[in-house]
Amino acid sequence: MRSHNSYCCVDNCYVNVKDGVPFFRFPKDPIRCQIWKDSLGFVEDHKYANLTPEISHQRVRICAIHFNDDSFTVSGKRLLNTAIPSKVAIKVNSNNI
Ligand SMILES: [Zn+2]
């Protein structure tokens, strides 16, 4: 079973923490948390859409491949406060009718 703490939160991304890719928590800040959700397509009936920022921060993790290179600190180990995940293939709903 997929665990929130072991896998990336992004749909269709199956990177696991054991793969050696850095993982990051969602921001606690409500505004930034919402920006991330919008960018990732966590809206409407998505399973993560209604999580509070606090719960998102605790449970939801995203792997580093969804961020541009300029999203990280010089060491490459931490996200900048301004980083927004953008490398995501958001599903198109028109094919699901
Ligand atoms: Zn991922």
pLDDT 10s digits, 4-54: 468 999 988 999 989 999 999 999 999 999 999 999 999 999 999 999 999
Report CA(61)–ligand 1 centroid distance (Å): 9
Q: Which residues surround ligand 1, an ion (CB under 5 A)?
A: 8, 10, 13, 15, 63
Whether the full predicted model's pTM is greater than 0.85, yes or no, is no
Report the separation in Å between the CA atom of 71 and the middle of ligand 1, taken as the mean of its atom positions. 15
What distance in angstroms lies between residue 97's CA and the mean position of ligand 1's atoms?
27
Instruction: Please give the distance, rounded to the nearest whole angstrom, from the Cα atom of residue 17 to the centre of ligand 1.
Output: 10
Tokens describing residue 37: 């959700």
CA of 62 to the centre of ligand 1 (A): 5
Model confidence at 91: pLDDT above 70: no
pLDDT given for residue 10 in this prediction = 94
Enter the tokens of residue 10.
């992004």
